[in-house]
Chain A
Amino acid sequence: MKRFARLFSDLDATTATQAKVDALVRYFAEAPPDDAAWAVYFLAGGKPRQVVKTAVMAREAAAAAGLAPWLFDECYQAVGDLAETIALVLPDGEAQGDMGLAQWMHERLLPLRGQDEDAVAQALLAWWRELDARGRFLLIKLVGGGFRVGVSKLLVQRALARHAGIDAKRVAQRMMGYTDAKSAPTAERYQALIAPVDEARPDGADAGQPYPFFLAHPLDIAPELFTARLGPLADWQVEWKYDGIRAQVVRRQGQCWIWSRGEELVTDRFPEVVALAQALPEGTVLDGEILAWKDDAPAPFALLQQRIARKTLTRKVLADAPVTFLAYDLLEQAGADLRSRPQGERRERLQALLHGTPVPLSPLVSADGWLDLARVRESSRERGMEGLMLKRRDAAYGVGRTKAEGLWWKWKIEPMTIDCVLVYAQAGHGRRASVYTDYTFAVWNRPPADAAEVQAVLDAIAAREPPAPDGLQLVAFAKAYSGLTDAEFREVDAVIRKSTVEKFGPVRSVRPSLVFELGFEGIQASSRHKSGIAVRFPRMLRIRRDKPLAEANALADLRALLGGGA
């Protein structure tokens, strides 16, 4: 654990990518393989199923530190991270012998699963007493998941590649599924990541192994500039951008595996897709999108979401939210890796392969030049699409979000927007702790008659009077925490502190004074929200300093968007 703690400190003490890779390489060089296996797992985003409830940890820590629950909460608000709060309030322990990371996991943490709360609490208390603040912090992170230290999976792959003297893309492929919650990391699996390249025995001994996903870059230049930047439209393969779940279907050795972009094995979730895959020949890997599908068209993401939330797939669930898999790329054919072949060739092979099978193909979009394509893109929303995908016909299928081997652009439609009023605020987490960065926004229940009517509402809020049931009032409809610069957040934070009306735990209500332009990708009627509306991916586009509160939008404006969008 001490070695891993030192690695954590080294990673945490720098923002320089190279210094982080150096620290990782140093660690891999000296750590035993079973420890390194777990370190890779955590740093690459692996989360073991939580063995202890967060609330139990918080309660036990407060008791052990002799703090009243309210005082512990105050500490948590100031720190913004539960593990760090616990680490800081507990008295220092007497350092005892040093156990390796793997030993910690296998002998101590994993056996906690399924034990009763008291036993777990007793174990935690005893271990806390063995560790210093940094050790406690790491232990709680290991127990609770959410291990974020500014190291991306890509960085871990780079370091492993340098340590092993092999190509980072190969490490990336070997690492697919490494962090899947269903299998614990072992020294063997770690050694398979860094094994020397043996041409006679290619990688993928594990039959279900997928390929790293190739990710698209956002395109945000005016269509007039496309020819200059991208060349003629003819160089590009154009498809719709779907609002579903990116997935790979792997068909090998008479079996089928479905992997989500989060590298989670989701085969069991989508029996319809498994059925489709039966039609594929051996040694095939498809890249595509899982979509809820109704009436021969993609259904809103919300429907797919309902389906994902279900633990057991009853006949009713399958009937209410049927899914399909739309194929758009062919990564492996007859057991051969096609990723270095040009996009155009892969597409032709894909079309030929799927011809006569029930597996649907993502259609190509054609247009007379970029400006015409821009007009086609305008119809995205009514078709239930997020925009268009542009893929260079002569490019290979790359790894991750790189531009080295090929190029995919996602050309999304402009978000829907609404002008709304900030009514509640909550402090963020991590580096945003103690800064109010998470906001709740409201619209008017009806357009205000005049500024005086708005002023009366503000006065009532400041005086903490409830609104008249049939009078003008603000109705909360969305929360957002992204889209502003750090400087803007600081500015809004100052306004919130000055205009706080009430505090409810970590949440402050404010006397409304700021109008924001909020952008979102989709909108749905929802009986679970007071406003009757749920928006998808809301984020702040800008602060509308030019707009008085009376000119913020009303519920009717939101409902009008409901009619127009998918």
Chain B
Amino acid sequence: MSDLVVQRPEGLYCPAGDFYIDPWRPVDRAVITHAHADHARPGHGHYLAAAAGEGVLRARLGEIRLQALAYGERITHHGVTVSLHPAGHVLGSAQVRLEHEGRVWVASGDYKVAPDRTCAPFEPVRCDVFITESTFGLPIYRWRPDSELYAEINAWWAANAEAGRASVIPCYSFGKAQRLLAGLDARIGPIVVHGAVEPLNEAYRAAGVDLPATVAAPALSDQTAISRCLVLCPPSAAASPWLRRFGDSATAFASGWMQVRGQRRRGGWDRGFVVSDHADWPGLHAAIDATGATRVIVTHGSVPVMVRTLQERGLQAGAFQTEYGDDALDVPAVAEPPA
């Protein structure tokens, strides 16, 4: 029997249903796992995505022909039954379950298995073939519990506030920023967000996610407030004059890549917090095991390592070549400080 999902120049393709999953070139029909730019691209004829992510997707892509599906709701297209299941990555992120002639395939998109109160938790879905990401597919990537992480971030912020300097965390506007917000202790000081972040906060709040109060940078004029504030902004803004208004500030980058000292130093970051929207190494394996799949196809990240590991565990494993990004490795590094 032929495969339910194959690789095409446009993206991952389901021949039986004649549609694509997260294609990187314009196609007629696209199922979108989540609204990050490398998965949700403009220019497709029809979009299918999880209802929970509708607001974010429309905010990012503007006028699109979008059919929104509740998690777990099934539709059938050309004999292929399609349903979307929470992936725990960001608000509205979904795994795509395809069923056709008794076979079940699941494409994960990006996912995270650890709890995160800003999105629905990852739901293991039984399948024959699992298409998985592997962004952090090396044993060096093991995340600590969020409680420890938030305690560390809040302690850093409080120490900066005591020393009278603003705390700046450059991070992705969608997902990472809200995840951080959810754990910040707003009693320490005001939380300032860059103009690129606030629309996404609004989308989260509209979806019922409780986030602490945030203010826009111009609204903060009091010097005491500035010296105690915490700033969330895209990495591009961290290297721009926008940041100057906060005067002397401490900066920390928030990303799973900060697990490795060399990656932090190469980026020129003094401090790094290991915060990721992706599954760590044990998480990837737990998720793969929970599907019960006997065949696994790896799409992006640490692909050869994951494929070989799965093969050594007795699974049938292979890879798809995709154009999904590996998250934060391409962040514009801030200017290197003089030696």
> A207 an interface residue at 8 Å Cβ cutoff?
no
Q: Given A81-B262, A85-B140, are A13 and B270 also a contact pair (CB < 8 Å)?
A: yes
A144 to B265, CA, bound (A): 22
A74 to B336, CA, bound (A): 28
A84 to B260, CA, bound (A): 8
The stretch that binds B, out of A303-311, A416-424, A425-433, A438-446, is A425-433
The stretch that binds A, out of B122-130, B189-197, B304-312, is B304-312
Within 8 A of B (CB), among A74-130: 74-75, 78-81, 84-85, 88-89
Shortest CB distance B269–A (Å): 9
Residues on A with beta carbons closer than 8 Å to the beta carbon of B309: 71
Within 8 A of B (CB), among A359-393: none
Contact B305 A88 (CB under 8 A): no
The stretch that binds B, out of A62-70, A209-217, A288-296, A526-534, is A62-70
Within 8 A of B (CB), among A10-55: 12-16
Contact B262 A71 (CB under 8 A): no
A429 to B266, CA, bound (A): 11
Chain A residue nearest to B271 in the complex (CB):
A13
Q: Which of B270, B271, B305, B312 contacts A74 (CB 8 A)?
A: B305
Shortest CB distance A9–B (Å): 10
> Per-position contact with A for B288-313: 1 when CB-CB < 8 Å, else 0?
00000000000000100100110010
Residues on A with beta carbons closer than 8 Å to the beta carbon of B261: 12, 79, 81, 84, 430
A104 to B337, CA, bound (A): 35
Contact B262 A88 (CB under 8 A): no
> B67 an interface residue at 8 Å Cβ cutoff?
no
Apart from A74-B138, A78-B260, A80-B260, 8 more pairs, CB < 8 Å:
A67-B139, A70-B308, A78-B138, A79-B261, A84-B260, A431-B265, A431-B266, A486-B336
Q: Which of A13, A75, A80, A486 contacts B262 (CB 8 A)?
A: A80
Residues on B with beta carbons closer than 8 Å to the beta carbon of A500: none
> B154 an interface residue at 8 Å Cβ cutoff?
no
Within 8 A of A (CB), among B236-292: 259-263, 265-266, 268, 270-271
> Per-position contact with A for B122-161: 1 when CB-CB < 8 Å, else 0?
0000000000000000111010000000000000000000
Contact A89 B140 (CB under 8 A): yes
Contact A68 B140 (CB under 8 A): no
Shortest CB distance A21–B (Å): 16
Residues on B facing A (Cβ under 8 Å):
138-140, 142, 259-263, 265-266, 268, 270-271, 302, 305, 308-309, 312, 333, 336-337
Contact sample, A vs B, 25 pairs, CB 8 Å cutoff: A13-B270, A15-B337, A65-B139, A70-B308, A71-B305, A75-B138, A75-B139, A78-B140, A78-B260, A80-B260, A80-B262, A81-B262, A85-B140, A88-B140, A88-B259, A89-B139, A430-B261, A431-B262, A431-B265, A431-B266, A432-B262, A433-B266, A435-B266, A486-B333, A486-B336
Contact A79 B262 (CB under 8 A): yes
The range of chain A's interface size is: 20 to 34
Residues on A with beta carbons closer than 8 Å to the beta carbon of B262: 79-81, 84, 429-434
A429 to B312, CA, bound (A): 29
Residues on A with beta carbons closer than 8 Å to the beta carbon of B270: 13-15
A65 to B17, CA, bound (A): 44
Contact A430 B140 (CB under 8 A): no
A14 to B266, CA, bound (A): 13
Shortest CB distance B78–A (Å): 38
Residues on B with beta carbons closer than 8 Å to the beta carbon of A13: 270-271
A432 to B333, CA, bound (A): 14
Residues on B with beta carbons closer than 8 Å to the beta carbon of A431: 262, 265-266
Q: Which of A14, A85, A433 contacts B263 (CB 8 A)?
A: A433
A453 to B266, CA, bound (A): 41
Shortest CB distance B273–A (Å): 11
A403 to B312, CA, bound (A): 61
Chain A residue nearest to B142 in the complex (CB):
A88
A68 to B313, CA, bound (A): 12
Shortest CB distance B276–A (Å): 14
Residues on B with beta carbons closer than 8 Å to the beta carbon of A430: 261-262, 265
Contact A433 B305 (CB under 8 A): no
Chain A residue nearest to B266 in the complex (CB):
A431
The 5 closest A-B pairs by CB, nearest first: A433-B262, A431-B265, A88-B140, A15-B337, A431-B266
Contact A68 B138 (CB under 8 A): no
Chain A residue nearest to B265 in the complex (CB):
A431
Contact B140 A433 (CB under 8 A): no
A16 to B339, CA, bound (A): 9
Residues on A with beta carbons closer than 8 Å to the beta carbon of B271: 13
Contact B312 A68 (CB under 8 A): yes
Chain A residue nearest to B268 in the complex (CB):
A15
Shortest CB distance A149–B (Å): 10
A437 to B175, CA, bound (A): 33
A88 to B308, CA, bound (A): 21
Contact B140 A75 (CB under 8 A): yes
Shortest CB distance B24–A (Å): 18
Shortest CB distance B116–A (Å): 22
A81 to B263, CA, bound (A): 11
A89 to B302, CA, bound (A): 16
Residues on A with beta carbons closer than 8 Å to the beta carbon of B263: 433-434
Residues on B with beta carbons closer than 8 Å to the beta carbon of A68: 312
A71 to B313, CA, bound (A): 13
Residues on A with beta carbons closer than 8 Å to the beta carbon of B305: 71, 74
Q: Which of B142, B260, B268 has the most CB of A within 10 A?
A: B260
Residues on A with beta carbons closer than 8 Å to the beta carbon of B268: 15
Chain A residue nearest to B137 in the complex (CB):
A74
A81 to B337, CA, bound (A): 23
Shortest CB distance B239–A (Å): 14
Shortest CB distance A393–B (Å): 31
Residues on B with beta carbons closer than 8 Å to the beta carbon of A81: 261-262
Chain B residue nearest to A76 in the complex (CB):
B140
Residues on B with beta carbons closer than 8 Å to the beta carbon of A70: 308
Shortest CB distance A218–B (Å): 15
Shortest CB distance B99–A (Å): 34
Q: Which of A12, A14, A16, A79 contacts B140 (CB 8 A)?
A: A79
Shortest CB distance A548–B (Å): 31
Residues on A with beta carbons closer than 8 Å to the beta carbon of B336: 486
Shortest CB distance A484–B (Å): 14
A530 to B333, CA, bound (A): 40
